[in-house]
Structure 1
Amino acid sequence: MATAKKKAKLKSLSHGRPPTAKPVRTISRTKTRTLIRTHHTLEKQRAKALADGDDAKAALLLKRIDEQGGIEGYQRASLIGQNNERGGDSSKLLMDWLEPVVSVLKERVKDGRPIRMLEVGALSVTNACSKSRLFDVERIDLNSQAEGITQEDFMERPLPRDVDEQFDIISLSLVLNYVPDPLGRGKMLLRTLEFLRSRQTSQDLQNWFPSLFLVLPASCVTNSRYMDETKLESIMSSLGYAQTKKKLSNKLVYYLWRLDAGKVKQSTVFKKEELRAGKARNNFSIVLK
């Protein structure tokens, strides 16, 4: 039983992130959305069953996951769901937001001091941030299938030993929502503080870095029983983050949060509390203890 629980923990973050290889696109939009939604639901139910010690139920759920194509089927659907016709590369928006300081970033590259980026749940080595050549990018993914992306669990990654091993920006694009439980999401956000530099030494960049680029399905804040934008802002503020940029689309919500390490409120607690009633609501939430 202990072994089963350990395995569940190792796959609790971005288990099943899609590869960079492009599959044959034969899945319709409706089937793509259904497969992704079902896979997320089954994985969450399986994680709960394992946490409850119900190995029989966990095995049954794993069988259902395999019957719908397993991790490979989810990866194919996820990649199709994020191609250019259905949302595309989220880092394009980040590059648009950073346009005012591109010249400064270029100077940093020339000086051999590029801004360091950690991309968690990386899908590609050729996204907009990578192609800009403005960053020193380190890419990790729980199920990497591409050279240039290290297979690693962010929650198991060794903590930085000094400022040289920390980053100026972390990207969590459609990663946080895949963590199967609210407390795990809170732990992930809290852990970002360990990997970000406490301040930006360049005066021209102090309003931009250190920062967290966060992308979520829009429904996480617009249609959740337990989460809305006000609560998300309160959670992020308690961690020392201030919102600098935001974009809400029909499907996704994008944020850029700047970290002020001096404003972290370590004693603040956020519970799973109902904010909006309704059968059509989802259960996305974040818990901080």
Structure 2
Amino acid sequence: MAVKKKRKQPKNLALGRPPTAQRPKSISRRTTKSLINKLHLLEKRKLQAVCKGDKTAEAAISAEIESLGGLETYQKASLQGQREDRGGDSSRVLMTWLEPITHVVRGSVARRPRVLEVGALSTDNACSRSGLFDVERIDLNSQGKGILQQDFMKRPLPKDNTEKFDLISLSLVLNFVPDPRGRGDMLLRTLQFLHEPQDPPGPAWASYFPSLFLVLPAPCVTNSRYLDEDRLVAIMSSLGYERIESKTTQRLVYYLWRRHARAQNTLAFPKKELRPGSSRNNFAIVLR
């Protein structure tokens, strides 16, 4: 009678996993940055082709974007950037800023603050885990359950106050809009989804809400020909926003803007060169 050979056990669970269950390879920091920059450039060139009515160029650029993986690739690169070793989740900065009123929000018997997270990539960020907010998440290309696939610029306007928000998060969203006018339009549109300044229930809330959490790549503000911090503050002030918190790192700039007034006559901010130089980028925000 043949002796049955004992099967060798895998040394660990990872070695015993089938190929389809293997952990996906990490994208290097350099590759991540290169992918995001390339897709931004292509989107800008595509918009220029559309404006010129050049269908041939538009189709060629669209094909190139598709070959790189399009929005899905951009999102994967962005998710890599949210890893702990890449600087982590941007909403952790927001939660640090909101610490002074955390106990007030937890003890509120009226309602919890409503948050609209535009360009949401995960349902497990610091804001979601806090349990302080009722969070609604949307994205152009939903990455999972709990994130509604929706374009913020096409989202139906609130019918009444119950559909408005206390805070809107635009974390690394505005920089993906290829057109300077489109960026201005997006900032202007946030006002239609936020509560009026007098709506928050109580003075503690009113010191932070309604508000806009805005995160951009640092060079958009620190190294642009057409935008610096003074210009950004002027644009936001024209919309009725007041800067109450800000933070600049090597990679990102973070802002918390409180809506303190209802914009009556929004000023026009055309594309205007502020800082000349061949090493500058062309990021701009235009208000019409």
TM-score (norm 1): 0.88
Matches within 5 A, 1:261-280: 261-262=261-262, 264-280=263-279
Matches within 5 A, 1:275-286: 275-286=274-285
Q: For 2:191, what is the secondary structure of its paired residue?
A: helix
Which digits, 9 at most, give the CA deviation of each residue in 1:249-269, with x for residues without a partner? 00000000000233x242411
Specify whether residues 211 and 35 from structure 1 end up closer, same or farther in structure 2 by C-alpha distance, changes over 3 A only: same
Q: For 1:261, what is the secondary structure of its paired residue?
A: coil
Q: Which moved more, 1:24-33 or 1:35-44?
A: 24-33
Distance, in Å, in 1 between the alignment partners of 2:139 and 2:77 is 17
Tell me by how many angstroms 1:68 deviates: 3.0
Which digits, 9 at most, give the CA deviation of each residue in 1:108-140, with x for residues without a partner? 2xx251011111011111111110110011111
Q: For 2:254, what is the secondary structure of its paired residue?
A: strand
Distance, in Å, in 1 between the alignment partners of 2:124 and 2:158 is 26
Tell me by how many angstroms 1:77 deviates: 2.2
Tell me by how many angstroms 1:24 deviates: 1.6
Which digits, 9 at most, give the CA deviation of each residue in 1:207-232, with x for residues without a partner? 11000000011101100000000000
Task: Indicate conservation of the 8 Å contact 2:117/2:137, yes or no.
Answer: yes
Tell me by how many angstroms 1:78 deviates: 2.4
Distance, in Å, in 2 between the alignment partners of 1:40 and 1:190 is 22
Tell me by how many angstroms 1:86 deviates: 1.3
Which digits, 9 at most, give the CA deviation of each residue in 1:147-187, with x for residues without a partner? 11111110101111111110111000000111110100000
Matches within 5 A, 1:148-227: 148-199=146-197, 200-227=200-227
Task: Indicate conservation of the 8 Å contact 1:23/1:76, yes or no.
Answer: no
Q: For 1:193, what is the secondary structure of its paired residue?
A: helix
Amino acid in structure 2 at the alignment position of 1:282: N
Task: Indicate conservation of the 8 Å contact 2:110/2:201, yes or no.
Answer: no
Task: Indicate conservation of the 8 Å contact 2:75/2:121, yes or no.
Answer: no
Matches within 5 A, 1:113-152: 113-152=111-150
Q: Name structure 2 gaps, 5 residues minimum.
A: 1-21
Task: Indicate conservation of the 8 Å contact 1:35/1:77, yes or no.
Answer: yes
Matches within 5 A, 1:98-117: 98-108=98-108, 111=109, 113-117=111-115
Amino acid in structure 2 at the alignment position of 1:271: P
Distance, in Å, in 1 between the alignment partners of 2:153 and 2:139 is 11
Pick 1 or 2: higher relative contact order, CA cutoff 8 A, min separation 6: 1
Distance, in Å, in 1 between the alignment partners of 2:128 and 2:208 is 18
TM-score (norm 2): 0.88
Specify whether residues 91 and 267 from structure 1 end up closer, same or farther in structure 2 by C-alpha distance, changes over 3 A only: closer
Distance, in Å, in 2 between the alignment partners of 1:233 and 1:143 is 31
Amino acid in structure 2 at the alignment position of 1:162: D
Name the structure 2 match of 1:96.
96
Tell me by how many angstroms 1:23 deviates: 6.8
Amino acid in structure 2 at the alignment position of 1:77: A
Name the structure 1 match of 2:85.
85
Count of aligned pairs between the two proteins = 265
Distance, in Å, in 2 between the alignment partners of 1:213 and 1:177 is 14
Tell me by how many angstroms 1:30 deviates: 1.4
Q: What fraction of aligned residue pairs are identical, expressed as a percent?
A: 57
Task: Indicate conservation of the 8 Å contact 1:245/1:257, yes or no.
Answer: yes
Q: Which moved more, 1:205-214 or 1:24-33?
A: 24-33
Amino acid in structure 2 at the alignment position of 1:232: L
Flag the structure with larger Rg.
Answer: 2
Name the structure 2 match of 1:287.
286
Distance, in Å, in 1 between the alignment partners of 2:26 and 2:101 is 41
C-alpha RMSD over aligned residues: 1.5
Task: Indicate conservation of the 8 Å contact 1:33/1:81, yes or no.
Answer: no
Q: For 2:107, what is the secondary structure of its paired residue?
A: helix
Q: Name structure 1 gaps, 5 residues minimum.
A: 1-21
Amino acid in structure 1 at the alignment position of 2:140: L
Amino acid in structure 2 at the alignment position of 1:208: Y
Tell me by how many angstroms 1:76 deviates: 2.5
Task: Indicate conservation of the 8 Å contact 2:71/2:141, yes or no.
Answer: no
Name the structure 1 match of 2:4.
none
Which digits, 9 at most, give the CA deviation of each residue in 1:56-106, with x for residues without a partner? 001111222233344443333222233221121111111111111000110
